[in-house]
Structures are given as structure tokens and as C-alpha cells.
Amino acid sequence: MKNKVIYLSGAFAALLYAVTVILGGLIRPGYSHISQAISELIEAGAADKRFLDPLFILYNVLTGVFGSVLTSKGIKEKNRAFIASGAAFLVEAISGVIMTLFYPMDPRGAAPTFAGKMHLIIAGIMSLFTMVAVGCAAAGFRENGKMRIYSIISLAVIFISGATAAWGAATANPLLGIFERVTIGAYLQWMLVISVKLQNK
């Protein structure tokens, strides 16, 4: 039972993230999931930052646990792709905790700060390692063609929608929130499915 719970850490992480974002939008007056970035929920000076920060940190901790599960599985099965995927998850998780604790997003219209610039840099690093994690996991499914194809399709959606979200942020597109949520949603659903799949194996 303990092992099953650990394997499901990825699913718990995905569900927690989704609930946190929805809850954050509900308790922040005027917040728009359509036009605003998720990071704006915990931007510098945000009223609900102290409440939401621990939830996002817990998400990253669970993601890190899932990364360690993949790494252990890769070592056990001598699957280097899974080891690399797990390592990428760990880098992403650690980066997420650091960003949440020390480098919040600058509010819209505010003068750029060092913390705000670091937020963008770390967010870029996290995006890169997200794709690395999914891509390596796809390669790790050596004997499961369906899961490999599913992972490749998920990666393609993450890449295309992620590029669109980056363009939306640079141009202040009014649909930025949707672009970003499609990207993160594609990643979260993949992590949930993979977590459940590994737990049942």
C-alpha cells in the first residue's frame, strides 16, 4: 500500500495543482483564468500569497517524489530514459520551490525587479525540464508502444501550446491564461495518467 501511494504522488500532484489554481481564482476578486497567468495568483504583494504558496510548494514536493519514483524504477530496470526523466522532474520540482519562495512574479505594470526577472528565468528552466521529463519518459516506454505514442502526443501539445503561451505573454494577449492552462493541463494530465499507469503495473 505504501508503495502504491508513493507511485501515485504524480497523480496527487496534478490534482493538487488544478485545485489550487481553481481555488486561487475563486478567492481573488476580479481574477481571470482566461487572460491572467497562474503566477499572478502568487505574484509579489498578492493578498492570498501566504495561503497559496504552501499549496504550490506541496505540489512541487509531490512532483519531486514522483521524479524519485521514476529514477528508482529506471535504476531497477536499467532504463536510462526513466532515470533521466526522474532527474528532470527533480530539477523542475526544486526550481519550483525556489521560485515560489524567493522569486515571485512582478505585478502587471510594475517596474521590473531582480526577483521578477529571476522568476522568468526559472520559469523558462522549468518549462525546458518539463519537456525533457516527458520526452525521456516516452523513450523509456520501450515495450509499450501505446504509452510512448501517448507521451509523444502530450509532449507535442506541451511544446506547441507552450510556445503560444510565451508569445501571448510577450504580446500581452488577452487569451494568455487559456494558452498557459492548455500547456500546463497537457502536462498535468500526462503526469496523472503515467502515475496511475506505473502504480498499476
Residue 113 has pLDDT above 70, yes or no: yes
pLDDT band at 201 (very low <50, low <70, confident <90, very high): low
- The whole-model pTM stands at 0.93
Closest CA to 147 of 185, 86, 90, 198: 198
Q: Look at 6 and 81; give whichever has higher pLDDT.
A: 81
Least confident of 63-67, 75-79, 124-128, 140-144: 140-144
Residues in the chain, total: 201
d(CA 40, CA 18): 15
pLDDT band at 115 (very low <50, low <70, confident <90, very high): very high
Residue 14 has pLDDT above 70, yes or no: yes
pLDDT at 198: 80
Average pLDDT, the chain: 93
Residue 1 has pLDDT above 90, yes or no: no
pLDDT band at 6 (very low <50, low <70, confident <90, very high): confident
Rg (CA), the chain: 17
pLDDT at 145: 85
d(CA 156, CA 175): 20
SS3 181: helix
% pLDDT > 90, the chain: 85
Residue 3 has pLDDT above 70, yes or no: no
Query: Can you list the alpha helix ranges (DSSP code H) found in 78-175?
Result: 80-102, 114-140, 145-171
Closest CA to 122 of 39, 201, 12: 39
Cα 159 to its chain centre, rounded Å, is: 13
Residue 35 has pLDDT above 60, yes or no: yes
pLDDT at 146: 92
Read off φ and ψ for residue 28, nearest 5 degrees: -105, 110
Q: Look at 181 and 201; give whichever has higher pLDDT.
A: 181
